Chain A
């Protein structure tokens, strides 16, 4: 009986200490985890741009885009990348409704209004169909590289220029609409997006 009571008291004591220590540790690591998460996220946003195309810290130079609503998509933010003092690219973050949920894209555009590259930041499309969007092995997004707003932005089945992702028409159309929106936005806002070209 005595041993049993001792065991139970010990159990309660150890449980309290373990929970308290874990909570304290969580409190202690909360700030580093938030920093690490932000850093990782920013790296993913910039991964769209080849490193030799910029020598500044684009994320320190956010463009004044406050959730601009475009025709089909929503712009979440934009950054200016410069190389040797001149603007080499604009990186836009865009969100559009896909088939299963929102798709977030990071879109790099060169000063002539042509696409450099596109990366998928987040998507919830059906695995194996629209989900191939996020797979680097499917090179579907690469067909849009070097295209401008003037291209015929539609799928071949809609008498356009581009192949679709097999089995994912809705996803394909959504991504293309977001890219076209971003390129049109760039053309419309070109002067203000590029204006700080020579002040560095």
Chain B
């Protein structure tokens, strides 16, 4: 269940900030940077549990997202304006990662997830830029178009990946 929720919490930035390849690259790298930074800062606090841990996680995520937004404003203002508030929304993803990532093998799972997320951002951004600008499909520039495209990409992925053994035999058992 975990990884579906992880993807879900990153859905808003994933769909909202990938109109062009450049935006997608920026939001993907921001997610990578923010989640890794957040996890690195949370690491010394691993003995905290319950409400204090959630609050600390929230404060650190908010602080990191603010710093990221300020940095983008200072050194890439046009990009920051086209990304809007989506970099700040990534802090939600940090919270979700902190709560949902598995404890044994955390870092390798995290790296896999983040690389997958950045890759998905890039593919989505490249597809939307191509569809919107070269093929002239205006829907691809809008968030609903991005959602449809994401669905198609995931469907394609499910079709192409090696099928798990259970799914085809389920009916006959």
Contact = CB atoms under 8 A, between A and B. Distances in A.
Given A11-B55, A14-B56, A40-B78, A33 B70 contact: yes
Interface in A21-64: 21-22, 25-26, 29, 32-33, 36-37, 39-40
A153 B157 CA distance: 60
Interface string B76-95: 01100100000000000000
B48 A7 contact: yes
A151 interface: no
Secondary structure type dominating chain A contacts: helix
Given A22-B67, A26-B70, A33-B70, A14 B60 contact: yes
Contacts of B55: 11
Contacts of B70: 25-26, 29, 33
B52 A10 contact: yes
A33 B63 contact: no
Interface residues of A, number: 19
B66 interface: yes
Contacts of B73: 29, 33, 36
B42 to A, nearest CB: 10
Contacts of B71: 25, 29
A188 interface: no
25 contacts: A7-B49, A7-B50, A7-B52, A10-B52, A11-B48, A11-B52, A11-B55, A11-B56, A15-B56, A18-B59, A19-B63, A21-B63, A21-B67, A22-B66, A22-B67, A25-B70, A29-B70, A29-B74, A32-B75, A33-B73, A36-B73, A36-B74, A39-B77, A40-B77, A40-B81
Interface of B: 45, 48-50, 52-53, 55-56, 59-60, 62-63, 66-67, 70-71, 73-75, 77-78, 81
Interface of A: 7-8, 10-11, 14-15, 18-19, 21-22, 25-26, 29, 32-33, 36-37, 39-40
Given A32-B75, A33-B70, A36-B77, 14 more contacts: A7-B50, A7-B53, A10-B52, A11-B55, A11-B56, A14-B45, A15-B59, A19-B63, A21-B63, A25-B66, A25-B71, A29-B73, A39-B77, A40-B78
